[in-house]
Amino acid sequence: MLTPEQIETKLDHILLQVQKPGRYVGGELNSITKDWNKAHTRVALVFPDVYDIGVSNVGLKILYDQINQRDDALAERAYAPWVDMEALMREHGIPLYALESKQPLACFDLIGFTLPYETLYTNTLNILDLAGIPVRSADRDETHPIIIAGGHSATNPEPMHAFIDAFAIGEGEEIIHDIINTIQKVKGLALTRSVSKSQRSKVNKDLRPSTFDREALLRELAQIPGVYVPKFYETTYLEDGTVAHTQPIIPEVPKLVNKRIVAKLPPPPVKFIVPNIEVVHNRVSVEIMRGCTRGCRFCQAGMITRPVRERSVQEVVDAADAAVRSTGFEELALMSLSSSDYTYVNELVDAISKRFEGRKLTVSLPSLRIESVSIDLMDKLKQHRSGGFTLAPEAASERMRRIINKFIPDEDIINTTRDIYTRGWKTIKLYFMIGHPSETIEDVQAIVYLCKRIIDEGRKAAGWKIKLNVGVSTFVPKPQTPFQWVACDTRENILEKQTLLKRQLLKDKNIKLSWTKPEDTLLEAWLTRGDRRMAEVIYSAWKNGAKFDAWDEAKKQEAWLSAFEEHGLDPAFYTHRQRRTDEVFPWEHITAAVRKNFLFQDFRQSLEGQIRVDCRLNCFACGILPTFANLRRENPGEGWKCPDVKSPATVTSNQVSVLSDQLPVVGD
């Protein structure tokens, strides 16, 4: 394996031949380079897309801080090299390395990938390969790092089960420490067994490889609540190709892996990495709350990040200030899934505008509800506002709004948008979604009518200069949501709907339309509800050249289709098939603590066009409280938005109190 010095020398020879060499050299303000030899456990955190996108990821930033706060561990970063760099690295025999120390990834103890979306899967394989680490878990031994992954896509880990040693389900703040402690425990034991005292001082690097039992370590990891180690489970299939069940093959591991949460959000990171080159987001992000209670049925994030936990106004404002000071960034994003629902949103906005008065800073407050109050909020941030105003009605007909559980009457939309134009915004961006199986062409037509009305009303109120940007995405049914049973729209239907939108909306010069290509939608749809057999498809697609699947430039549809063919699998099985009501899902043994029977009931309500209100008004016992009852009991109060739990504890104070054999049942 090359040393960091050798890697640096080689880099100096090739870097001037690639676009944006600054992606590959580190040295950013607020990056942390610890003494390699003093850290007992070395962790490489990887965002498997190009640096420009990955560097601002908040999830990994949280983990980077958590790990680097420990004296006995270090965390460094790596991203996917762009294709030009990859080619040169392969040509010159440079393995993928971490930006801080330039140590090859293969020299770390632990590699943690974040998988926020499925189009990063092929890149993950490619990164392992570039690092000289066997792509398949089964081919790794004691000389290789442990490969873990987390993030939203881990709520259906099965398509990646062959490549990732262990998945972290849910929130990472605590579980990452449990994982590191376990590694230290197992490796430490191994060290005392086989290493004499005199040798131990120069231990770490040289002795690490042969001194632990990988299998034993994985077994230990599999017993941490929230950790899923796929190799200890086995899936059997029914004749129709659906899953019969996925079950443990050793007794120590849980039948049902429950996600982890933190009862109270820890202080947000403030020392964000400041890249030395331009990247996509030059901003600090402060999460104001986590989770969402609106219950939009298509939204995976809304289902899997429950419960809602809020930070205090004081904490957010102080963190924002500290983060802006420590980075010098010109933009602040106040992050949440639904800003309007933050209890003290008015106070927050007042406090932010007061604190940053007169300072050059753009503030974004995403996901505002469609009502005039939202405009008041944005008005208060006037001094700090950027370009347009974004709203997400998602559907334009009453019927569809009931189906997806996002009910905003036309009049509210018209009044709000008119008001936005009147108060001086020139551009409004609206998000819609097409492709639900119950959707008819009339529902799509309704999007056109609504947009036309919006711009007509806007013109009456504010003149001819106003603009409307319409973004229409295509619905992808996601695991762990009420729509996990439904089919994804077909290519032909999607194209027909998009053609209608283009034909009718683009007539108006001041309306801009953007849409998702059906190929992108289908790829995401195959992967998101895939089973273990998809792993071979991913592997072959990668071998066929698929990577950077989230990028337009790198479309590899062919690579994917031939991979399906090679393994005798039908893509339509994963996308266009309505699931049986008693179907066992590939992710059945993983839960985000929102129970399957709750999701199923919600699915049935959607078929009946029934709305379910915000669960802050009425707790529906979705599964969060029963699962985390003890945690809630120990952490009462208003930061966490579920009702308080008053009943006495039933199980000893354990993080996760659900019993592993309490598998959710469909139908109640």
Partner 1 sequence: MRARITFTKQGALRYTGHLDLHRLWERAMRRADLPLSYSQGFHPQPKISIAAALPLGFSSRAEVVDVRFNEEISTEEIASRLKDNLPVNIKVTKVEGVDERAPALQTQVLSATYDVHLTEPVDKSDLTRKVGELMMSESLPRERRGKSYDLRPLIETLNVVTEANGKVSLRMTLSARDGATGRPEEVLNMLDIEPEYTSVERTRLIFQA
Contact footprint for ligand SF4 (CB under 6 A): 293, 306-307, 615, 619-622, 624-625, 642
Q: Which does 277 bind (CB under 5 to 8 A by kind): ligand SF4, partner 1, ligand B12, none?
A: partner 1
Region from 147-155, 438-446, 589-597, 621-629 binding ligand B12, contact rule CB under 6 A: 147-155
Stretch that binds partner 1, among 157-165, 269-277, 288-296, 594-602 (CB under 8 A): 269-277
**Residue 613 Cβ vs ligand SF4, minimum distance, rounded to whole Å:** 10
Regarding 97 and contact with partner 1 (CB under 8 A), the answer is: no
Stretch that binds partner 1, among 112-120, 318-326, 541-549, 584-592 (CB under 8 A): 318-326
Residues 462-501 that bind ligand B12 (CB under 6 A): 473, 478
* Residue 93 contacts partner 1 per CB under 8 A: no
539 is a site residue for partner 1 (CB under 8 A): no
Q: Which alpha helices (H) appear in 328-409, and where do they start and end?
A: 345-355, 372-380, 398-404
Contact between 378 and ligand B12 per CB under 6 A: no
Quote the least distance from Cβ 356 to ligand B12, whole Å.
21
Q: Does 326 bind partner 1 (CB under 8 A)?
A: yes
Question: Can you tell me whether residue 252 is helix, strand or coil?
Answer: coil
- The interface partner of residue 326, options being ligand SF4, ligand B12, partner 1, none and the CB cut-off 5 to 8 Å by kind, is partner 1
Contacting partner 1 within 352-391 (CB under 8 A): 360
Q: Give the HSE-up count for residue 40: Cα atoms under 13 Å, Cβ half-sphere.
A: 14
**Interaction partner, residue 487 (ligand B12, ligand SF4, partner 1, none; CB < 5-8 Å by kind):** none
Q: Per-residue string for binding with ligand B12, 542-561, x by CB under 6 A?
A: --------x-----------
Phi and psi angles of residue 274, each rounded to the nearest 5 degrees, phi first: -110, 105
Of 433 and 625, which CB lies nearer to ligand SF4 in the complex structure?
625
Peptide bond into 134 cis (omega under 30): no
Contact yes or no for 328/337 (Cβ under 8 A):
no
* Contact between 172 and ligand B12 per CB under 6 A: yes
- Closer residue to partner 1 in complex, CB, 102/632: 102
Nearest to 100 by CA among 27, 165, 3, 41: 27
Q: What span, in angstroms and rounded, lies between the C-alpha atoms of 476 and 528?
A: 8
As a whole number of angstroms, the distance between CA 392 and CA 95 comes to 43
Structure letter (DSSP) for residue 84 = H
Nearer to ligand SF4, 522 or 625 (CB): 625
**Complex with ligand SF4: residue 104 or 291, whichever CB lies closer:** 291
**Sequential DSSP letters for 135-185:** SSGGG--TTS-EEEEESGGGGS-GGGTTT-SEEE-B-HHHHHHHHHHHHHH
Burial 112-141 (b: 16+ CB within 10 A, else e): bbbbbbbbbbbbbbbbbbbbebebebeebe
User: In this chain, which of 38, 200, 264, 325 binds partner 1, going by CB under 8 A?
Assistant: 325
157 lies in the site for ligand B12, by CB under 6 A: no
Written in H, E and C, the secondary structure of 16-39 is: HHCCCHHHHCCCCECCCCCCHHHC
CA dist., res. 180 & res. 100, Å (int): 20
- Picked from partner 1, ligand SF4, ligand B12, none, the partner binding residue 150 (CB below 5 to 8 A depending on kind) is ligand B12
With respect to ligand SF4, which residue has the nearer C-beta, 506 or 619?
Answer: 619
DSSP designation for 585? P
User: From the list partner 1, ligand B12, ligand SF4, none, which binds 328 (C-beta under 5 to 8 Å, kind-based)?
Assistant: partner 1
Q: Which of 278, 357, 553, 638 binds partner 1 (CB under 8 A)?
A: 278
**Do 31 and 273 touch, CB atoms closer than 8 A?**
yes
Partner from ligand B12, ligand SF4, partner 1, none binding residue 151, C-beta < 5-8 Å depending on class: ligand B12
- CB-based contacts of 304, cutoff 8 Å, min separation 6: 152, 155, 170, 259, 480, 592, 594
Using the rule CB under 6 A, is 116 a contact of ligand B12? yes
The reply to whether 192 sits near partner 1 by the rule CB under 8 A is no
Q: Are strands 233-237 and 243-248 parallel, antiparallel or unpaired?
A: antiparallel
> Which of ligand B12, partner 1, ligand SF4, none interacts with 293 (beta carbon under 5 to 8 A by kind)?
ligand SF4
Question: 506 forms bridges with which residues in the sheet?
Answer: none
Residue (159 or 170) nearer to ligand SF4, CB: 170
The site partner of 175 among ligand SF4, ligand B12, partner 1, none (C-beta below 5 to 8 Å per kind) is: ligand B12
CB of 598 to ligand SF4, least distance (A): 8
Query: What dihedral do alpha carbons 133, 136, 141, 146 form, nearest 10°?
Result: 70
Output 144 or 306, the one with its CB closest to ligand SF4.
306
Distances in Å between the Cα of 455 and the Cα atoms of 103, 395, 595 are: 56, 17, 42
Residue 116 binds: one of ligand SF4, ligand B12, partner 1, none (C-beta under 5 to 8 A by kind): ligand B12
By C-beta, is 47 or 272 nearer to partner 1? 272
Contacts 24+ apart (CB under 8 A), 90-98: 90/130, 92/10, 92/13, 92/14, 93/2, 93/10, 94/2, 94/7, 94/10, 94/11, 94/14, 95/1, 95/2, 95/7, 95/130, 95/131, 95/132, 96/127, 96/130, 96/131, 96/132, 97/4, 97/7, 98/44
Which of 444/622 has CB closer to ligand SF4?
622
Residues across the chain: 668
The residue from 26, 48, 54, 157 that contacts ligand B12 (CB under 6 A) is 54
Q: Round to whole Å and give the CA distance between 64 and 44.
A: 9
Q: Per rule CB under 6 A, is residue 301 in the interface with ligand B12?
A: yes
| Tokens at 520, concatenated | 């992108």
Q: How many residues belong to the site for partner 1 (CB under 8 A)?
A: 25
Site for ligand B12 in 318-347 (CB under 6 A): 335-337
Q: How far is the CB of 67 from ligand B12 (least distance, A)?
A: 10
Which of ligand SF4, ligand B12, partner 1, none lies near 168, with the C-beta cut-off 5 to 8 A by kind? Answer: ligand B12
144-176 as b/e: b if 16+ CB within 10 A: bbbbbbbbbbbbbbbbbbbbbbbbbbbbbbbbb
Task: Provide CB contacts within 8 A for 659, sequence distance 6+.
Answer: 651
Chain positions contacting ligand B12, by CB under 6 A: 53-54, 56-59, 62-63, 112, 114, 116-117, 148-152, 168, 171-173, 175-176, 281, 287, 299-301, 335-337, 473, 478, 550
Chain positions contacting partner 1, by CB under 8 A: 9, 12-13, 15-16, 21-22, 24-29, 274, 276-278, 324-330, 360
